[in-house]
Amino acid sequence: MPLVKICGITRVEDADQAAADGADFLGLNFWPGSKRRVTPETAAPLVVAARAMSATVQLVGLFVDQSEGEITGIANAVGLDLVQLHGDEPPSLVAALTTRGLRVWKAHAVMGPEDIDGLAAWPADAHLLDAPSPGRGGSGKTFDWALAEAAVAAGHRVVLAGGLTPANVAEAVARVRPYAVDVASGVESAPGVKDAAKVRAFLEAARPSTRPR
């Protein structure tokens, strides 16, 4: 049964509700180019709301080609559990952040088998596999799940993203058997605005044996 990440949280009520319904991870996007961007100041109440509702929810900060200093500064200021690198960061940055005690997920735009072959170069806690997008994720498009299956078969810890919705996540989980699934636009009514019913439906479909309380 996979873990579930609800990404692109921008509102306190969405952080509260997703944590209460059993999301394992909440994603906060610190990339200035994102439609779902938060700052350390606007993220602080989201973290407080999530942690007040769940003792186990983990907060993931998303960064795109930002410096080691900026990433670690925000992670420490906000109290992030993980950082997710969604740009063209080199393996050396993943290693440096890990040395600083941070858990790192590296996101990869997957187009072909060569992208799976190259995963071992990054010393990441997990690899987030997504569809290619000029917006660095959040495209709402799926990619060939056979490539994700190959990554899992090769022994990689895979976070499956890209076009997942309440309607297709159960099939994705059954086929790929990922460590976690990640959703943003698939549970929204507008960018950064989560639809409570869709969030609950996604959690239910991804983990059918666990009903939200």
Residues known to be catalytic: 7, 130
* Cβ neighbours around 211 below 10 Å, total: 11
What string of DSSP letters covers 62-92? EESS--HHHHHHHHHHHT-SEEEE-SS--HH
**2: closest CA among 176, 139, 138?**
176
Which H/E stretch holds residue 107? strand 103-109
Helix (H, G, I), strand (E, B) or coil at 81: coil
Helix (H, G, I), strand (E, B) or coil at 117: helix
What string of DSSP letters covers 39-59? -HHHHHHHHHHHHHH-SS-EE
| Calpha distance 208→212 (Å, rounded) | 10
| Calpha distance 37→74 (Å, rounded) | 13
